Amino acid sequence: MAKYKIALMPGDGIGNDVMDAAKIVLDKIGLDADYVPADIGWEFWRTEGEPLPQRTLDTLKACDCALFAAITSKPKEEAEAELVPDLKGKGLVYRSPIVRLRQAFDLYVNLRPCKAFKGNPLNYRDDLDLVVFRENTQGLYAGVEFHPLPTEVRSVLEKHSPRMAAFEGVPSEEIALSTRIFTREGCRRILRQAFEYAQEFGYPTVTLVEKPNVIRETSGMMVREARKIAAGYPGIELWETNVDAMVMWMVKNPQDYGVMVASNMFGDIISDLAAQLVGGLGFAASGNIGDSFAVFEPTHGSAPQYAGKYVANPTAMLLATKLMLDWLGETETAKALQEAIAEVIAEGKVRTYDLGGDNGTLDVARAVAGRM
């Protein structure tokens, strides 16, 4: 039996192209692993009414981790319209399979390293090494939302918060409510992961990105827990920032930062900014990590206009593969892969269209594999 069992979920569009690139590199690495293909994406929504079939969840449960590429998703009406005739009008609702994966496996860390590779013409600066830890399961994206505001909810809010006076007289149909729920352990576990990472990889600071001066209870809880956890890491300094100022500093002096940690929505925002500073979608990979399972992915989507043309930049997918190797404990191999990617970028001979080149997806994969 192989040491690892890894699910491969190419998904839709260029997801298939970049997954083929990852396979070339994985073949070259020769990891002691069984690779198990798993269904996810639009085709399964259309034909089965389910973009993340139960059989995929079962496969994932039997695997150590998964590599996922990209899927297509569409707004409600369009999604319904594309179902096969037998499934139309049954009240099926499309739900993001990524969000469901995060919930089903409690993948509470969204890890997004954004390192500028030397020679990447898309870098904002060449000296950036940012690593975002975004809480992945709670906060504003947990989906506890109301519209219209139910009468019971409204009366409880009015009873417990004097601030509700601001909405007196507004009909409940005219009020929408999205909640931002944090738990203490939810704060602690993302903070712990950020500090552990900073310690392991030698970052001198951890920057907490919140807004405690305004969002007193949730952001406040995050700050209080961060101070307690920071006390256990004397060699690492905790920097506390407000999210609005932080995006300004990330544009002004991004080289000053390293590990950053934030709740779900703020982390989402700063991780897109961080990614753009080092070349954008073609270079942005992320890990969705829990205590016993993880899913690694490029953050780009299925770019349908390029599907099957093998022109997409596979670097993000290869960096996702690198994150997976790190998580599996294959540190040396992960490092070798990162170095091979860096060399190919620095050399600048094999480049996809987004870097001004005319090489294809698999050319880049072969160039990287050739250096390992």
Residues contributing to the site for ligand NAI (CB under 6 A): 70-73, 98, 281-282, 300-305, 312-313, 316, 354
Q: Is 262 helix (H, G, I), strand (E, B) or coil?
A: strand
Closest CB 353 distance from ligand NAI, rounded Å = 7
Q: Which is nearer to Mg ion, 317 or 364 (CB)?
A: 317
Closer residue to Mg ion (CB): 137 or 242: 137
- Among Mg ion, ligand NAI, none, partner that 281 touches (CB below 5 to 8 angstroms by kind): ligand NAI
Name the closest residue to Mg ion (Cβ): 297
In angstroms, how far is CA 268 from the centroid of its own chain?
A: 8
Beta bridge partner(s), residue 100? none
Q: Which is nearer to ligand NAI, 22 or 303 (CB)?
A: 303
C-alpha distances out from residue 167 to 20, 148, 177, 345, Å: 54, 14, 12, 55
Closer to Mg ion by CB, 10 or 186: give it.
Answer: 10
How far apart are alpha carbons 60 and 194 in whole angstroms?
26
Partner touching 339 among ligand NAI, Mg ion, none, CB below 5 to 8 Å by kind: none
Which candidate, 22, 237, 289, 253, places its Cα nearest to that of 132? 289
Q: State the Cα–Cα distance between residues 16 and 69, nearest whole angstrom.
A: 7
Number of neighbouring beta carbons within 10 Å of residue 90: 10
CA distance 136 to 290: 10
Nearest residue to 313 via CA among 341, 354, 367, 285: 354
Residue nearest to ligand NAI (CB): 301
SS3 49: coil
- Site track 56-95 with Mg ion (rule: CB under 5 A), x = hit: --------------x-------------------------
List binders of Mg ion among 234-253 (CB under 5 A): none
Q: How far is the CB of 297 from Mg ion (least distance, A)?
A: 4
> In the bound complex, what is the minimum distance in angstroms from residue 291's beta carbon to Mg ion?
22
Binding residues among 311-330 for Mg ion as defined by CB under 5 A: none
* 302: partner contacted, choices ligand NAI, Mg ion, none (Cβ within 5-8 A by kind): ligand NAI
Give Cα separations from 247 to 130, 135, 138, 167, 272 (angstroms): 13, 18, 22, 31, 11
Between 210 and 297, name the residue whose CB sits nearer to Mg ion: 297
The Cα 237–Cα 207 span in angstroms is 8
235, burial (CB in 10 Å: exposed 0-12, middle 13-18, buried 19+)? exposed
If contact means CB under 5 to 8 A according to the sort of partner, which of ligand NAI, Mg ion, none does residue 72 touch? Answer: ligand NAI
Rounded CA separation 205/335 (Å): 22
* Residues 278-307: x where in contact with Mg ion by CB under 5 A, - otherwise, as a string: -------------------x----------
Complex with ligand NAI: residue 220 or 301, whichever CB lies closer: 301
Residue 151 CB, nearest approach to Mg ion (Å):
40
Name the minimum Å distance from CB 269 to Mg ion: 17
The nearer residue to Mg ion, 98 or 345, going by C-beta atoms, is: 98
Positions that interact with Mg ion (CB under 5 A): 70, 297
